[in-house]
Homo-oligomer: A and B are copies of this chain.
Amino acid sequence: MSTSPKPLHLNAFLMSTGHHEASWRLPESDPYSTTSIAHYAKLAQTAERGRLDSIFFADSPSLWGTIGRRPSGSLEPTVVLAAIAALTTRIGLIATASTTYNEPYNLARRFASIDHISGGRVGWNIVTTATLDAARNFNRDELPSHAARYARAEEFLQVAKKLWDSWDDKAVLADKEAGLWGDDRLLYPAAHAGEHFQVAGALNVPRTPQGHPLLVQAGSSEDGRAFAANHAEAIFTAWQTIEEAQAFYADVKRRAKDAGRDPDGVLVLPGIVPVLGSTEAEARLLEEELDRLIVPEYALGNLAKQLKLDPSELDLDKELPAVLPTEDEIEGAKSRFTLIVDLARRERLTVRQLIGRLGGGRGHRTFTGTPEQVADAILDWADNGAADGFNIMPAVLPSGLEAFVDQVVPILQAKGRFRTEYEATTLRGHYGLARPENPRRAEAVASAVKGVLAHSR
């Protein structure tokens, strides 16, 4: 270790029985956990016991493919977070929500409400939602274009920020004597009129403990990175190799700087799927068991969809077709498309092998080994400009998270690389980020001063 390294941040990405698509078939797994709040609350408490920064739920407002393959359907994550907030005290709570299929007033309010409920622990993973299935649940026949989705997302964030800043931190007077609860002059209505949104009002929720929820982003295309540079405070991302991750890390830090922001205020958290065993052989055994339980026919249909191919164009025992669409032709998830194609080409994988590699983390890096090896893998990327922390995606839940918390975290703590107690009470605090000032207050003060000056002339 050189000079004191930057603190490491760890997020637990929770998903029913785990990230491996066959995890639900293990004897230990509860296949009904998709709808069990007890399951998710216990996972959150485990993560909190490990002093992790946060837990996280992915989301899309649609049913994803066939329900034959793996546990399907998922509770809407903002209400899940609210329930978990009541059952935990410190851990950060991050939910995914789509800017394409929500209204800014409703969504900004829901996150503000959870920030109050949790005492400042909420984060929003901002996504534009890449599937046609979702579009078809919201009055559309076609997926809005990638560019149109990001344009709407940009304006959505502008509106949301105005709404979160629409109450001065001092707007509530609570003056019982005078009978004056709040000061209307300390409300700053959004008064937004743009291309996508027209939103008059102040939010109907006072400014929250964190000011704004922690803003997280998870798209890695050109547009996604540009958006992240403007708004993201943490970035979830998927990379198979340290070289790719380093390039991405350098790129988004530079973009943040170019956007006039402090690069340390934009944390990069690649995903890692740890498959843990007390010996390497034991870990391999678990991995093989999981891969053996994959039903490749299901996965093939899904892979074809991601690659914009017909399933008949894929042969389980051959490599991908020589001619594939380019990223430009993908209107869905661009960066994930490229990751998958690069992985298959680089390692000359058959479709069956590719499905195995994607079965663990859908494109995220799977790492199989002992707790020491996992800790080393984490520190290797963190110390070499590839990550500020990790999005931990246990292959099997709850056991994989318990193993991580009980076996990997103590190693990181013993090395002085991870907190042993929470030092902050808010999610922003855990991530080392400040509570945003309210720019509207500064404007209001400036215009009041101008008024006084004009008067005194």
Contact = CB atoms under 8 A, between A and B. Distances in A.
Interface in A153-193: 167, 171-172, 174, 176, 179-184, 187
A143 interface: no
A79 interface: yes
A210 B434 CA distance: 43
Interface stretch (A82-90, A276-284, A340-348, A367-375): A82-90
A70 B202 contact: no
A42 interface: no
A3 interface: no
A105 B138 contact: yes
A399 interface: no
Copies, count: 2
Interface in A74-98: 74-76, 78-87
B79 A184 contact: no
A356 to B, nearest CB: 15
A37 interface: yes
B204 A62 contact: yes
A261 interface: no
A66 interface: yes
Nearest to A40: B117
Interface centre among A79, A84, A109, A179 (most CB of B within 10 A): A79
Contact of A69 (B22, B84, B181): B181
Given A35-B116, A79-B113, A68 B205 contact: no
Contact of A76 (B109, B176, B199): B109
A64 B184 CA distance: 12
A410 interface: no
Interface stretch (A24-32, A251-259, A384-392): A24-32
A205 B73 contact: yes
Contact of A176 (B24, B113, B139): B24
Interface in A110-126: 110, 113-114, 116-117
Contact of A64 (B102, B103, B204): B204
B181 A106 contact: no
Given A110-B76, A206-B73, A61 B117 contact: no
A114 B75 CA distance: 8
Contacts of A106: 61, 76, 101-102
B181 A117 contact: no
A200 interface: yes
Interface of A: 22, 24-27, 29, 31-32, 34-37, 41, 60-64, 66-76, 78-87, 101-103, 105-106, 109-110, 113-114, 116-117, 133, 136-141, 167, 171-172, 174, 176, 179-184, 187, 197-206, 293, 295
3 smallest CB-CB distances across A and B, nearest first, come from A67-B182, A136-B200, A31-B174
Given A70-B181, A79-B114, 10 more contacts: A61-B105, A61-B106, A66-B184, A67-B187, A73-B204, A76-B110, A79-B113, A101-B105, A139-B197, A140-B198
